[in-house]
Amino acid sequence: MNKLNRYFKKISLVLAVVVLLQISLPEWLTLSQPIKAAAQGPIIVSTSPADDFLSVVPSAKLTFTFDESITKVNGSATITIYEYDTNTVFESFVVASSGAVTIDSTGKVVTIQPSKPFQENTEYYVNIEPGAFANVSNGANFNGIASTYEWNFKTGVQVNRIPPVLQAHSPALGALDVPITSSVSMTFDEEVYVASGEFSLVSDLSSTTLDNRQIPVTSNQVTGSGSKTITITPSVALYPNTTYTFSIPNGVIQDSSGNKYPGYSWSFKTAAAPLKAPPTVTKLEYSGSTITMTYNEALNENSIPAVSRFYITVNGVNRPATAISISGVTVKVTLSNVIMNGQVVKLSYSKPSSGGIQDLLQNQALEIANRDVTPLVDPIAPTLVIVSTYPINNTSNVLTDSDFTAEFSETVVKGAGSIWIKPIGSKTAQDIKTNFYVDGTNTTIVHITLPTGVRLEGSTNYYIEIASDAIVNLAGNTFSGIQNQNEWTFKTIAVDTIPPTVTKLEYSGSTITMTLNEDLNGNSIPAVSSFYITVDGVSRPATAISISGATVKVTLSSAIMNGQVVKLSYSKPSSGGIQDLLQNQALDISNRDVTPLVGPIAPTLVSGSVSGNTITLTFNKELATASSNAYQQFSVYIAGNYYSASSLNTSGRVLTLTFNGTITDRQSAYITYLPSTHPITDTDGVNVAAFSSYSLANATSSSNSNSVYTPVSTGTSSLNSAIVIGKTLTLTFNETLNTNYIPSVNSFSIMSQNVMLSVEKVTISGSVVTLTLNSSPKIGKAVYISYYPSANGIHTTSGQTIEGFASTSVANQTTLNSLLGEYTEAVGGGIDLKISAATTTSAVSPAGTSTNKYSISALPINNAYEAAKSAGMNKLRVVFKVPDTERAAIVAVPLSTLQNAANFGKGASFAVQYNDITYEIPVQSLNYSEISRILGSSEVVGDLLIKIDQGETGLINSLTSAINRLNASILAGPVHFEVVAAFEATEKKIPSFSGNVSRSMDTVTSIEAKSAAVVWYDPEADALSYVPTLFTTSGGKTVATFKSKGNSAYALVRGSANYTDIGKHWAGTTIQALARKFIVEGRTTTKFEPEQSMTRGEFATYISKGLGLSGNKSAASKFKDVNTGATMAAYIGAVSEAGIVMGNTDGTFKPDSLITRQEMAVMMTRAAATAEVTVSLPSSASSYLEKYNDHSKISSWAKNDVAKAVYTGVISGQTTTTLSPLTHATRAEAVVMIQRLLESVNLLEM
């Protein structure tokens, strides 16, 4: 197939050129050129059934088509059809003599007619011996087909062999006076589908004008596929008084079983044309930037006039049209900007010689000269959405430098009036006239800001006053305004200069929590070097600092054990550091004690007694009412026997339990409590901790006293050691044991982490008792064992009975290897699932390849995550490896299992490995509620199907074509990924995830990171785009790991971009590397123009490609100056959707305007957030900018983001003292900044 695919690419190009020549050259020239045969012999260009085709009709003929005329060759060469599974011959034909092998009149198509039908649901392959055919031109032989995979197919099951029947059609056969705007419809006896080809609608040869319409089945004129009625609605009216013949060719229509309708033709005659009255305008109205022309009849939507046909003036000034659209009876003319209500608008339209505005009968609309356009009547004024304002009405503790937002009920624009903030009841606070503007993205939102350098007074009541002409909707209706002190009021936070103080210092694990007396500034994070911590007098470094509310959390390099002495010191920096909301800095702390974090006190058992079948337990705190099923969590052990509980109730501090047994005088009794779904809690909701083998006072014994919680007496037990490794626990005694006495599994109780580990088997050998457990304890966790002697308990060979013992510590020597057991550690970390964990069924991959689907149930996956967690693995990762023998990979995993996997810990993932490909999904990146919705369920159901196709398939044609156009070399791949959610008969593609999905390719090819990257074909941009790629080398292989939120076809390539003007440029190496990774590109194919200024559109494109974002032209449509038909629009839309760019307040993006250095810095800081990297400034923004003499030129809206870009090193000064924020960046500067950004967020390797 690889040979054929390579040939298909060549022949497709040739055919494309031939088609273009046929369209563009005179007929006499196209008919005069002979086609020469290939010297190497004929090549098969298509087969029917196609290779790997499924559901073939058992009665099917086999056909194959050569690229040139051929003939049979005398001799014994055969065509043989084999059953695939058994390699047995189904039927064989001697080509030279068999009448079942025929060649059609073109000399290119060979047909094989088997003498019997194929078996249903059976796979076959075809072999053709060399020399069976030769070309006519030079006698070169066909090489034949000798493999089992080059041409194979599979028949269907329960085949419906009856073709569809045409029951009715309209117009009827021979119908007269058919309206020229009629549709053609065909009704069949079953649901039918348009397959391929064209319908034909042709006028009679005697017609004055020939009307020959070939209507492809893919045309929007054809509707009804999948129903019983197919309808063709011609896009242009038929000619009047004309006889037409409508033809359905054989095979254009098929039923769901693939049975072809054999075809049919019929004729009808159209009526005379109606009176030729041109369409007339009934209304001309404007709203915003759109003029709507309403006509008296439906218009031809395929005849769009040029914008140059319109001349519009607004208040006497020309305003150009930018776009025209037609729908129904309306023509919409989009202007370059908004028309304000009250402006005088005039419209003129010039009729072209043909086309333009016309009705369905192609009558042209007349010209319009200087007609008035009136405003679209909209009596409704915009209203304020009070609940969406910031701050909302009556808010207190508003910062004195806050910005404010107001959301309105519709799109608004800025009017002539003002917005003021005015004090209520203050003698010192002043009225403040604000600045305000409409949001560039959401035009219903107005931002209100204080003038530069102005603050509100602290602890003061204010209200916001909006003039009645400050806010206007697109129809010119004004917002009524706010002219009172009650509708939008707030109070500012009190101004103080008092530093925040520490009220508590507590530790838990590796975290110290500092609690202060007021809320802190979450954007001012101190450096870890500001802290000095000692644990038992030894320094322990801090590794991370976070602030939330009134607490500072200091993460240490390792955990603090309870009882250790912890001291903390904090040094206040010159600016920033820990500060309150008013930027008052916290003071230094010197050698302060840090105490352990004290959690809620759990109720503890004080005493317990048993009498008859009743146990009474007394706790130190009052208990809540228990569940009626809570008794199931208790078990009682008396005289070597276990008894289950039967009922339970609580009253105050006392719990009373009845059990299915009874106790007699002087018997010992023990009780065990293992909480599960119905825990015992106190009235504060704190759970009672598990306990094991609690000794009960026997109230029937005359010598009994109150019980205390002590282990069973160990007497003179001769136990030397107790060790557990995985599921095996060994008890070693100092005497040889009698193997005739084997205690029952109930004689032992093993506890770890308040969970009982059941004993499944007991064996004795020498002086060792071996217990086989049902599950392993976790690595490093404490384990305790209790033993209850009985008549058949452990005895020595000397006849001594081993006494019981309780809560004896067991040495837990469980390791990773011992814990994994049936699992193995995966390459790259995590757990490998065995192939036996899956069941297989036959399936077909997205590329049409027959393969096995591997379905994995919940249990082995859950167990694998549990094993990984128990083993303390760094990666909670479960991997399933599809056998390399499969032709494609399809793996099904229950969605509910992946959702539950998130409970095992942050970062849990599921990976599929196939050949040298790995696909890894973080379980938290799936939107389970959205998946349930598209599957039509209220809960998480069904499976996630991960599908991988590798190599040359039809799914990668766009990718490989784009790679070839740009002269790149493929180093690994291509590979196609698809992920779907499946439930019952429903399958829905999951096009993207909430986070990046990691994939990798292995290759033995030598890779130079500077010129290689994984790429994909972005259909929105119609271009090759970079996928963030990192490289590692291990065992002689290079692994390319790449991340994307979507699924597509990918290939690892080496770019070849080379520009003549960067060889000696200071940024030349970086420019060439990013160009060869398809992140940036030159102004021409040979020149990059590094010293020319970068435009906003170019920079948005490069940021989008560097982050691996998917193109989004629809998101770019909100910018009225962005041509959504251009490639750049896809990238502008992508960064806009990601929140990296906002556009301008006038609704423009200005893609051709030159970008400033501060604009670049802001976009790159936002881009870092898109890459899930949060940049927090340890100190104030000013502290990073004040070293530049021109820092005052940085716009207030950009200041914080520019400071972050300086802090991370993404941008630096043009000199040591100048940042030049308003200078236009060169293309070279922009590329280097993009490189720094992508490397800082780990999305690029040079």
Phi/psi at 63 (5° precision)? -135, 150
List pLDDT tens digits, range 1177-1197: 777 778 888 888 888 888 877
Q: How far apart are CA 941 and CA 931, in angstroms?
A: 9
Specify the pLDDT at position 426: 86
- In this predicted structure, which of 124-138, 677-691, 813-827 has the lowest mean pLDDT? 813-827
pLDDT in tens, 442-490: 788 899 999 988 888 888 999 999 998 899 887 778 898 998 888 889 8
Return d(Cα 577, Cα 529) in angstroms, integer.
11
Distance separating alpha carbons of residues 999 and 978, to the nearest angstrom: 12
Strand ranges inside 923-1067, DSSP E: 943-950, 969-983, 986-989, 992-1003, 1012-1018, 1023-1027, 1029-1034, 1037-1046, 1049-1054
Q: Taking the mean position of all CA atoms in its chain, how far away is CA 271? A: 56
In sequence order, what are the residues at sequence separation of 6 or more whose Cβ sits closer than 8 angstroms to the Cβ of residue 1208? 1168, 1175, 1240
pLDDT at 12 over 50: no
For the CA atoms of 820, 824, 828, 829, the dihedral, rounded to the nearest 10 degrees, stands at: -10
Task: Produce one character per residue of 835-861: b if its CB has 16 or more CB atoms within 10 Å, e if not.
Answer: eebbeeeebbbbbbbbbbbbbbeeebb
d(CA 929, CA 940): 7
Alpha-carbon span 130 to 146, nearest angstrom: 9
Ranking 392-396, 454-458, 946-950, 1132-1136 by mean pLDDT, the lowest is: 392-396
Per-range mean pLDDT, top range of 179-183, 330-334, 381-385, 751-755: 330-334
More confident residue, 877 or 294: 294
Per-residue pLDDT at 704: 39
Looking at residue 1128, the DSSP 8-state letter turns out to be H
Confidence (pLDDT) at 378: 67
So what's the pLDDT on residue 75?
A: 87
Q: How confident is the model at residue 822, as a pLDDT?
A: 55
987: confidence class by pLDDT, cuts 50, 70, 90: confident
pLDDT score for 677? 74
Share of the chain above pLDDT 90, in %: 21
User: Mean pLDDT throughout 548-570?
Assistant: 85
- In this prediction, residue 9 has a pLDDT band, given cuts at 50, 70 and 90, of very low
The pLDDT score that the predictor gives to residue 332 is: 94
Residue carrying the six token digits 């530049």: 1188
The pLDDT tens digits for 892-929 are: 998 888 888 777 667 788 889 888 888 888 888 888 88
Per-residue pLDDT at 706 exceeds 50: no
Q: Give pLDDT tens digits for 710-728.
A: 333 333 447 888 898 888 9
Q: Report the distance separating Cα 137 and Cα 963, nearest Å.
A: 36
What length does the chain have? 1246
Q: What is the 3-state secondary structure (H, E, C) of 363-378?
A: CECCCEEEEEEEECCC
Please give the pLDDT value at position 496.
Answer: 64
Q: What is the pLDDT of residue 245?
A: 94
CB 255 within 8 A of CB 160: yes
pLDDT: which is higher, 271 or 396? 271
pLDDT at 160: 66
**Phi and psi dihedrals of 1043, rounded to 5?**
-125, 140
Give the phi and the psi of residue 1156 in degrees, each rounded to 5. Answer: -90, 165
Q: Sort strands 166-170 and 184-188 into parallel, antiparallel or unpaired.
A: antiparallel
The band of 874, judged by pLDDT with boundaries at 50, 70 and 90, is low
Note the pTM of the prediction, 2 decimals: 0.43
What is the per-residue pLDDT for 382? 86
Q: Is 773 left (phi over 0), alpha (psi -120 to 50) or beta?
A: beta
Provide the pLDDT confidence category of residue 275 given band limits of 50, 70 and 90. low
Secondary structure tally for the chain: helices H, strands E: 15, 79
Residue 778 confidence (pLDDT) above 80: no
Catalogue all structural domains in the chain, each as residue range(s) with its CATH number.
Answer: 34-155 (2.60.40.1220), 166-269 (2.60.40.1220), 281-375 (2.60.40.1220), 386-485 (2.60.40), 517-596 (2.60.40.1220), 605-698 (2.60.40.1220), 719-814 (2.60.40.1220), 828-1054 (no CATH), 1068-1240 (no CATH)
Mean pLDDT of 1088-1113: 87
Assess whether pLDDT exceeds 80 at residue 196: no
Average pLDDT, the chain: 83
Strand positions, DSSP E, 929-1011: 943-950, 969-983, 986-989, 992-1003
At 7 the pLDDT is 36
**How much is the pLDDT for 683?**
82
Band of pLDDT at residue 347, cut at 50, 70 and 90? very high
The two tokens of residue 1102 are: 């490069």
CB 673 within 8 A of CB 634: yes
pLDDT at residue 872, rounded to an integer? 63
The DSSP bridge pattern shows strands 109-112 and 62-66 to be antiparallel
Per DSSP, 1213 falls in state -
Considering 88-92, 688-692, 1097-1101, 1147-1151, the range whose residues carry the highest mean pLDDT is 88-92
Q: Is the pLDDT of residue 284 over 50?
A: yes
DSSP state of 1235: H
Please name the residue ranges forming H helices in 677-771.
none
pLDDT at residue 324, rounded to an integer = 93
Is residue 1151 a contact partner of residue 1092, using CB atoms and an 8 Å limit? no
Q: Are 972 and 884 in contact (CB under 8 A)?
A: no
Per DSSP, 1155 falls in state P
Give the pLDDT score at 21: 36
Mean pLDDT throughout 1076-1091? 87
| 18 confidence band (pLDDT: 50, 70, 90) | very low
pLDDT tier at 40, thresholds 50, 70, 90: low
Rounded Cα distance between 566 and 536, Å, is 6
Task: Please report which helix (H) or strand (E) contains residue 418, including its range.
Answer: none
- Alpha-carbon distance of 927 to 910, in angstroms, equals 15
CA–CA dist 194, 1245 (Å, integer)? 49
What pLDDT digit, counting tens, does each position of 496-511 carry?
Answer: 677 888 988 988 878 8
Q: What percent of the chain shows pLDDT beyond 70?
A: 91
Instruction: Give the position of tokens 């339970």.
Output: 648
Closest CA to 1059 of 907, 936, 1214, 1231: 1231
Q: Tell me, what's the pLDDT at 206? A: 74
Question: Does 4 score more than 70 pLDDT?
Answer: no
> CA triplet 839, 842, 847: central angle to 5 degrees?
120
pLDDT of 899: 83
Alpha carbons 572 and 582: distance in angstroms, whole number: 16
Q: Is the pLDDT of residue 27 over 60?
A: no
What average pLDDT does the segment 27-50 reach? 57
Q: How far apart are CA 472 and CA 108, in angstroms?
A: 72
In terms of pLDDT, which residue wins out, 1029 or 1246? 1029
780 strand-pairing partners: none
Q: What is the pLDDT of residue 711?
A: 33
For residue 870, name the pLDDT band (cuts at 50, 70, 90). Answer: low
Statement: residue 250 has pLDDT above 60? yes
Cα radius of gyration (the chain):
40
Is the pLDDT at 762 greater than 90? The verdict is yes
| Mean pLDDT of the 334-349 span | 87
Q: How confident is the model at residue 412 (pLDDT cuts 50, 70, 90)?
A: confident
* Residues 908, 897 contacting (CB under 8 angstroms): no
Q: Which of 118-122, 138-142, 866-870 has the least mean pLDDT?
A: 866-870
Digit-coded pLDDT (tens) for 76-102: 999 999 998 888 999 999 999 999 999
